[in-house]
Amino acid sequence: FGRLGRGGDGSDELDFEEMEYFHTANDSVLNPNDATTVIKVDAGRNFSGALSSDGELWLWGRNDYGQLGAGPEGVRDRDAAARYPRLIRSLPLEGHRIVDFACGEHHVVALTSAGAVYEWGNRKWLEPHPITLPSRYEDGLKNLVRVFAGDRVSFALSSDGRLYSWGLAATGCLAQGPDCPEKLAVPTLVPAETFGGHRVVDIAVGRGRCLAITIEQ
């Protein structure tokens, strides 16, 4: 399914091999004249992503859930995939710079420099879809610094240790208590008492489980 991002017949490799794409590609929208510097990578199930220092995101691998953000055309074939990194062009074309992203099992969540959260995949959104408004708006979430993704759940963390969750309650990862609805469509603040009033400084999300590091206020 092109998981290695190096083209070819898609065969697995037993040893590490450098991806040459970012040495030669000139498909950047924000900085097409300079070499791409990758500052973060992540991987979901059968797909991967790389974030550049200019705030652009490339994805490659399988696209059966729309996780590559390629739109409806990209998921017509059940074996749809990208064998080379594919730039998410819509966000930089609209002036957005991505500061963090995360790959879930079958979806991607991204945070822009304006504080807006976008999400796609899971056979729901086939292209980047805004989940929150930029932070400058009254209804926008404030001081977001990182995002995380698991299996049908996503999270956003603020600089002051507030954690927001959304997705399916059946995963057991939302940490919203027994009265949580079956599905949260928008980021919802995890109650402070969940972590004993402590600030959350980092989390890790797996399939059906989550871990959090906290510090006292």
| 21 close to 85: Cβ distance less than 8 angstroms | yes
For 148, phi then psi, to 5°, come to -140, 155
How far apart CA 64 and CA 69 sit, in angstroms, is 11
pLDDT of 208 reads 86
Per DSSP bridges, beta strands 199-206 and 183-189 are unpaired
Q: How confident is the model at residue 76 (pLDDT cuts 50, 70, 90)?
A: low
**What is the share, in percent, of the chain residues with pLDDT greater than 70?**
91
Tens of pLDDT, residues 100-149: 999 999 999 999 999 999 999 999 999 999 999 999 998 889 999 999 99
Is residue 6 pLDDT above 70, yes or no?
A: no
- pTM, 2 dp: 0.91
Per residue in 169-212, pLDDT (tens digit) is 999 999 999 899 999 999 999 998 999 999 999 999 998 899 99
Contact criterion met (CB below 8 Å) for 60 and 3 = yes
- 15, amino acid identity: D
**Predicted local confidence at residue 52, as pLDDT:** 96
Could you report the per-residue pLDDT of 45-67, keeping only the tens digit for each? 999 999 999 999 999 999 999 99
pLDDT at 1 over 70: no
Backbone φ and ψ of 205, nearest 5°: -125, 125
**In the block, which residue shows the tokens 């991204």?**
110
- pLDDT: is 77 or 203 the higher one? 203
